[in-house]
Every structure is written in structure tokens, then in C-alpha cells.
């Protein structure tokens, strides 16, 4: 974990509620796709955890959804704003398990961390298939960016307005893949856990207090005991997950 100041160099809406923010600063602590940063906002007691979408040199890309006062505050930030970030948080994806043709599955705000993962998998010579899920066509973002990386992209929308009608799991039938990686809301992760064949890694979203393992507020049960989503996670392996049903 590293604390440093970043400067906003872009803050551009991608949809009505989804925004891409690029910041320049010390990215040296961010080493694996699936990690996140924790942003200090003026007047807010708790930092805001945001998944890393991409890292290129000293430029960090975040994509966030405006869902409350904190993210609305972020949306209003002009270029040049200075932000206090904790970086290098969380346990990211392990790329060594991917095999020749991995599958990445992202739902909604679970799409952004799959972008840097896909970029690294393609760079490693993998043939990547990306299944990206949204509620409807107006919420779609970053599909062209995934295709530009060289991934085969399948879009699923709940209302059927674009691509496969239904959830990401409706797009899995008939796909051939060596391993899977996924990120999204817990109901989606649970559905993917049951529908996806073989081994994989799942990245969980939890409400966090500290973001670095001190407060134990985001603990979850696994087959080997409690783990902190912000520290031992957010990425967990399929075989260790124990659902709280």
C-alpha cells in the first residue's frame, strides 16, 4: 500500500451515470489487475474504493458509477484537481492460471477491472473472450476498447436491446475456454459460479471501512476461514468460496 497525491487529467462521462477518470501520479504500487485504490474526498469520513481499470506509465484510469454523494462529488471535479489516494490495495488476479483461451466476464461496474486484465492476457499471447453484461443499451461502455485489445467480445443486456438477451450467464452456453475470471455484483458472481465450467477467479464487491485490512469490516467466509475482501481479496478462487446462503 502506498499513499500519494494524483492529479486529475481527465474526467469524462461515458454514459449518463458512468464516468472515466484519468489521474497522473505514482502508480508503482499498482502491480496486478483486480487491485483497487481508495480515494480521500473532502468532507467525507470514509475513502471511496474504486477498481483499477488501466495503468499506463504514471497515468491511472478509473471508471466509476455515480451512485451517491461521494461519486457525484467526483463527477464534478475539474481537470487539475489533486486527490489523495491509497494505491496497490487488494489481491489481484493471478494470470498464471489463464491457459491458452481464458474467458473474462464483467457485469456493470465489474467491467472496468477486466480491461487491464484482458490487456495483460492478450500481451501474454492468450486468445481472450470477454462477456460484458449491462441492463440495457444505454448503459453500455468500453466494448470497442475491449475489441481494440484483440478480444472477442460478447455483449449481454437484460432487456435484449443489444447482443444476447439476459444476463452474462445466458451468453456462456457453447463457449470454449481454459479458465475464467469475473467481477460484478454478488448475485452475478453467484450465478457465474454455478454456470461457468472449470476453475476460475471471482472479484467481490463489499462495503469497506479502511480498505487495507485493519477494521475487519469486509470479512467473508471461505472454506479456510474468514478472509478480508480488501486484503486477501477482492479476488478469490472459485474453489475457496463459501456462500452465505
Report the CATH number at residue 204. Answer: 3.40.50.80
Domain termination residue (choose one: 89, 117, 136): 89
Kindly state whether residues 44 and 123 are assigned to the same domain: no
Across 75-94, average pLDDT: 96
Give me the number of domains the chain comprises. Answer: 2
Kindly state whether residues 229 and 156 are assigned to the same domain: yes
- Let me know if residue 210 belongs to a domain: yes
Report the alpha-carbon distance of residue 76 to residue 196 in Å, rounded. Answer: 39
* Residues 2-23 pLDDT 10s: 999 999 999 999 999 999 999 9
CATH of the domain at 67: 2.40.30.10
Kindly state whether residues 40 and 107 are assigned to the same domain: no
Kindly state whether residues 184 and 132 are assigned to the same domain: yes
Distance of CA 168 to the CA centre of its chain: 15
The pLDDT of residue 198 is 96
Other CB atoms within 10 A of residue 153 CB:
20
| pLDDT at residue 158 greater than cutoff 90 | yes
Domain span at residue 107 reads 95-240
The pLDDT of residue 206 is 62
The pLDDT of residue 210 is 62
- Let me know if residue 245 belongs to a domain: no
Supply 126's cell numbers.
492468450
Task: State the average pLDDT for the chain.
Answer: 92
Kindly state whether residues 76 and 189 are assigned to the same domain: no
Beta-carbon contacts of 68 under 8 Å, excluding residues fewer than 6 positions away, are none
Kindly state whether residues 172 and 194 are assigned to the same domain: yes
3-state class (DSSP) for residue 116: helix
Confidence band of 225 (pLDDT split at 50, 70, 90): confident
Amino acid at each position: 500500500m502506498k499513499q500519494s497525491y494524483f492529479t486529475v487529467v481527465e474526467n469524462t462521462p461515458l454514459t449518463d451515470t458512468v464516468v472515466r477518470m484519468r489521474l497522473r501520479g505514482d502508480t508503482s504500487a499498482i502491480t496486478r489487475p483486480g487491485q483497487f485504490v481508495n480515494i480521500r474526498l473532502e468532507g467525507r469520513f470514509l475513502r471511496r474504493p474504486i477498481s483499477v481499470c488501466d495503468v499506463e506509465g504514471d497515468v491511472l484510469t478509473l471508471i466509476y458509477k455515480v451512485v451517491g454523494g461521494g461519486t457525484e462529488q467526483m463527477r464534478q471535479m475539474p481537470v487539475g484537481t489533486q486527490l489523495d489516494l491509497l494505491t496497490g490495495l487488494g489481491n489481484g488476479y493471478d494470470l498464471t492460471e489463464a491457459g491458452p483461451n481464458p474467458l473474462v466476464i464483467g457485469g456493470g461496474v465489474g467491467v472496468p477491472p477486466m480491461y487491464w486484465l484482458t490487456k495483460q492476457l492478450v500481451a501474454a499471447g492468450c486468445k481472450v473472450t470477454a462477456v460484458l453484461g449491462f441492463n440495457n443499451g444505454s448503459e453500455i461502455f468500453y466494448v470497442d476498447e475491449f475489441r481494440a485489445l484483440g478480444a472477442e467480445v460478447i455483449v449481454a443486456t437484460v432487456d435484449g436491446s443489444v447482443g444476447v438477451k439476459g444476463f452474462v450467464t445466458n451468453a456462456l452456453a457453447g463457449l470454449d475456454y481454459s479458465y475464467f475470471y469475473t467481477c460484478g455484483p454478488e448475485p452475478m458472481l453467484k450465478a457465474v459460479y454455478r454456470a461457468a465450467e472449470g476453475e476460475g477467479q471471482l472479484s467481490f464487491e463489499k462495503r469497506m471501512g479502511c480498505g487495507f485490512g485493519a477494521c475487519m469490516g469486509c470479512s467473508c467466509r471461505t472454506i479456510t476461514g474468514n478472509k478480508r475482501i480488501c486484503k486477501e481479496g477482492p479476488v478469490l478462487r472459485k474453489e475457496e468460496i463459501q456462500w452465505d446462503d
